[in-house]
């Protein structure tokens, strides 16, 4: 039922794979709401978190997910590791593999970094926790989980993904997953933040130039952060001007369906892409996404580590 050695991207998953993760995540979601959250399933297994870029939610939730499944987890901090002495990604990874780790959770600034390691390492499973502007599969899975819980389905929903699409691995993984699951995906960004051939990002993706058009009648509005760290800030005028044209505020949200939900992968730049009152309102499911993140990552660890041949 689960045939993947690694989780590198949504690209390689079909609808059945996606449903398997979401269904298993339901189990771990309920379990995580119990007083005693721990399960012995991955006792004796070792997970290494290897994050070359900043992270709060993803790294912490992989760590919590590992603890809840009784795996041992080690966080490697590249800024105080031999990476600072010039060691390559592959050498670092091979050394950690030699310590008999079972799974690496990798975040890296280069697109394809997780696939690069997956091709070269023989004994460890790799989870892509974000590779440059390419993919962030567990984010898309937790977003789908959140949508499915709130709306009861994904098929047929209108999802507006708005913001810095060009630099967003979240947009890419979501456009793929939601399209595969039969949602209508609208992509909306400033011209400078929209990649060329954006419609190729997902099977149902359609580019809409103005935020009003994207939000009109939407079931889900997903706002994305402007990723200034990836382009130095030269693609927008001022944060205030950006908020005026591409920020989601209460007035703009009235165009969406009355029961629309607002999502954001975090970190939020309050007052830029998202008005702070909307971020904290009842239609915001941002903290539900965070809760779902632990359950989805437990499901991913379970599927990758219990379906592998033991050494």
Q: Are 221 and 260 in contact (CB under 8 A)?
A: yes
**Residues within window 256-275 making contact with ligand ASP, judged by CB under 6 A:** 265-266
Residues contacting ligand ASP: total by CB under 6 A: 8
Torsion sign across C-alpha atoms 256, 265, 7, 310: negative
239 is a site residue for ligand ASP (CB under 6 A): no
Which residues are CB-neighbours of 250 under 8 A, at least 6 positions away? Answer: 275, 277, 278
Q: Which is nearer to ligand ASP, 45 or 172 (CB)?
A: 172
Q: Which is nearer to ligand ASP, 279 or 305 (CB)?
A: 279
Q: Which is nearer to ligand ASP, 49 or 227 (CB)?
A: 227
At its nearest, how many Å lie between ligand ASP and the CB of residue 227?
6
For 167, which DSSP code?
Answer: G
**Residues within window 188-227 making contact with ligand ASP, judged by CB under 6 A:** 225, 227
How many C-beta atoms lie closer than 10 Å to residue 13's C-beta?
22
170 is a site residue for ligand ASP (CB under 6 A): yes
179 is a site residue for ligand ASP (CB under 6 A): no
**Residues within window 104-163 making contact with ligand ASP, judged by CB under 6 A:** 130, 136
Residue in 169, 181, 186, 297 binding ligand ASP, rule: CB under 6 A: 169
Q: Are 49 and 68 in contact (CB under 8 A)?
A: no
**Residues within window 22-61 making contact with ligand ASP, judged by CB under 6 A:** none
CA max distance for the chain: 58
Q: Are 90 and 101 in contact (CB under 8 A)?
A: no
Q: Which is nearer to ligand ASP, 148 or 169 (CB)?
A: 169
At its nearest, how many Å lie between ligand ASP and the CB of residue 122?
28
At its nearest, how many Å lie between ligand ASP and the CB of residue 193?
12
Which of these, 29, 258, 67, lies nearest to 145 by C-alpha position?
Answer: 29
Q: Are 128 and 119 in contact (CB under 8 A)?
A: no
The residue behind tokens 């400078």 is 192
The residues of the shown chain that bind ligand ASP, judged by CB under 6 A, are: 130, 136, 169-170, 225, 227, 265-266
């Amino acid at each position: 039922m689960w045939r993947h050695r690694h989780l590198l991207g949504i690209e390689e998953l079909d609808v059945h794979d996606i449903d398997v993760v979401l269904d298993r995540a339901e189990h771990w979601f309920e379990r995580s709401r119990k007083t005693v959250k721990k399960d012995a399933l991955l006792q004796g297994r070792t997970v290494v978190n290897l994050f070359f870029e900043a992270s709060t939610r993803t790294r912490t939730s992989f760590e919590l997910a590992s603890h809840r499944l009784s795996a041992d987890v080690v966080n490697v901090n590249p800024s105080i590791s031999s990476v600072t002495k010039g060691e390559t990604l592959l050498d670092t990874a091979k050394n950690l593999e030699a310590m008999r780790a079972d799974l690496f959770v990798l975040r890296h600034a280069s697109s394809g970094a997780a696939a690069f390691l997956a091709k070269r390492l023989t004994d460890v499973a790799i989870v892509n926790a974000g590779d440059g502007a390419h993919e962030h599969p567990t984010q898309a899975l937790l977003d789908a989980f959140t949508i499915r819980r709130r709306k009861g389905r994904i098929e047929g929903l209108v999802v507006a993904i708005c913001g810095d699409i060009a630099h967003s691995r979240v947009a890419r993984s979501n456009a793929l997953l939601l399209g595969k699951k039969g949602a209508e995906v609208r992509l909306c960004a400033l011209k400078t933040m929209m990649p060329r051939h954006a419609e190729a990002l997902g099977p149902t993706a359609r580019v809409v130039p103005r935020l009003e058009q994207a939000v009109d009648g939407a079931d889900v509005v997903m706002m994305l952060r402007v990723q200034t760290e990836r382009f130095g800030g030269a693609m927008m005028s001022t944060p205030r001007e950006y908020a005026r044209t591409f920020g989601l505020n209460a007035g703009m949200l009235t165009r969406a369906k009355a029961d629309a939900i607002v999502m954001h992968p975090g970190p939020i730049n309050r007052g830029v892409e998202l008005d702070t009152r909307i971020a904290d309102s009842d239609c915001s499911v941002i903290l539900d996404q965070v809760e779902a993140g632990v359950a989805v990552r437990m499901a991913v660890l379970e599927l990758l580590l219990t379906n592998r041949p033991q050494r």
